[in-house]
Amino acid sequence: MRIAGLLSLLLCSLLSFPARSEALREGWQAVDGMQVFYREAGEPHAPTVVFLHGNPLSSIMYARVMETLASTRHVHVIAMDYPSFGYSDAPDHRTYAYTFDHLAQTVDAFLKARGISRYSLYMQDYGVPVGFRLMALHPDAIQTVMVQNGVIHLDGFPAAQDPHGELRQHWAHRNPAVDKRRADYVRSLGYPTFGHVDDEDHAGPDALMQMVAAEQRPGVIDARNDLWYDYGSNVRRYPQWQALLARLHVPVLVLWGNRDPFFTTPGAYAYQRTVPDAEVHVIDSTHFATLDAPDAVANLIGHFLDTHAPSMQ
């Protein structure tokens, strides 16, 4: 009886602790003469989810979600930092063209270097135009598509809807005043300290510290300004990407933080116009929902992957 009681007590104590998160493996991968930083977890032979980060953060925005998925699902998760973001090298913009075409080529080369040829995509913000270029390059590689606060329709991009507005005009004819304003803002940023944290998106001090440190490296603001100027190339491709997504016939999940003033919730529902059976969830969160509400996001991704596991084989 005493042994049975001890076993019962031990079992209860074990059940009272949450499952341990899978630790991320981190490193750098040589790609086209650069060192590209990445995080990954899970067995590489398992179905792979590639996470493509947004601006101005890095793969750090996915760390908790990736850990949760790797510890609760049979899945391989991986995310890299684009050149000039996070811990990746930041080549001078005169030697590395900071365009979305080039970023996608670099991500493609990274995936090939890691031996990844079939995968699901999770894309947020800048990750969407990078990811859709990968989808256009290798449509047969894509198993499922997941989008969070990133657009391929103008519905969810109010600032870009007016062709005569500042954004669209800047993308048509580069405005040095816009570049200067962006550069001045980056130079004005300070590290997060007690009482001095501007974090309306709830990214958290670790992500903010890394963001500021990465952006203030020599030459990075020039790179980021080049990339922002090239964003207009994405808007011009929206009709092509809508058609691409419709003809891929893969499962689509759309998650959206409803407190995002830049990419607004109509952008989430617009995906159902392109893919009527797309699964859409609007949650009470911010632009960086994977940092603000990582458990909710991981649960939704996990259920989606469970439902569509046959598509990932």
Cα atoms found within 13 Å of the Cα of residue 285, Cβ hemisphere only: 20
CA distance 161 to 209: 32
Task: Quote the number of domains for the chain.
Answer: 1
Q: Work out the pLDDT band at 194, boundaries 50, 70, 90.
A: low
| Proportion of the chain above pLDDT 70, given as a percent | 88
Q: Work out the pLDDT band at 209, boundaries 50, 70, 90.
A: confident
Question: What pLDDT, on the 0 to 100 scale, is given for residue 207?
Answer: 76
Q: Is 91 domain-assigned?
A: yes
Report whether 286 contacts 265 (CB < 8 A).
no
CA distances from 304 to 69, 262, 275, 296, 310 (A): 12, 26, 16, 12, 11
Q: Is 195 domain-assigned?
A: no
Q: Is 148 domain-assigned?
A: yes
Average pLDDT (14-41) is 80
CA distance 281 to 297: 10
For residue 1, is pLDDT > 50? Answer: no
Q: Residue 261, Cα to own-chain centre: how many angstroms?
A: 18
Q: Is 85 domain-assigned?
A: yes
Q: What residue numbers bound the domain in which 244 lies?
A: 20-159+237-312
Task: Give the pLDDT confidence of 281-293 residue by residue, as tens digits.
Answer: 999 999 999 999 9
Backbone dihedral region of 195: left (phi > 0), alpha (psi from -120 to 50 degrees) or beta? left
Going through the chain in order, the beta strands assigned E by DSSP cover 25-31, 34-41, 48-52, 76-80, 119-124, 142-148, 252-257, 279-283
Task: Give the pLDDT confidence of 217-227 residue by residue, as tens digits.
Answer: 899 999 999 99
Q: Is 188 domain-assigned?
A: no
| Proportion of the chain above pLDDT 90, given as a percent | 81
Q: Is 130 domain-assigned?
A: yes
Neighbours of 2 (CB within 10 A): 6
Q: Is 172 domain-assigned?
A: no
Question: What pLDDT, on the 0 to 100 scale, is given for residue 188?
Answer: 74
Task: Give the pLDDT confidence of 94-145 residue by residue, as tens digits.
Answer: 999 999 999 999 999 999 999 999 999 999 999 999 999 999 999 999 999 9
Question: What pLDDT, on the 0 to 100 scale, is given for residue 9?
Answer: 36
Alpha-helical (H) ranges within 83-216 are 100-113, 127-137, 166-172, 176-188, 205-215
Backbone torsions φ then ψ of 65, nearest 5 degrees: -65, -45
Q: Is 107 domain-assigned?
A: yes
Report whether 141 contacts 118 (CB < 8 A).
yes
Backbone dihedral region of 260: left (phi > 0), alpha (psi from -120 to 50 degrees) or beta? beta
Q: What CATH number has the domain bearing residue 87?
A: 3.40.50.1820
* Confidence (pTM): 0.90
| Closest residue by Cα to residue 94 from 222, 197, 248 | 222
For residue 260, is pLDDT > 50? Answer: yes
Average pLDDT (8-26) is 53
CA distance 252 to 145: 5
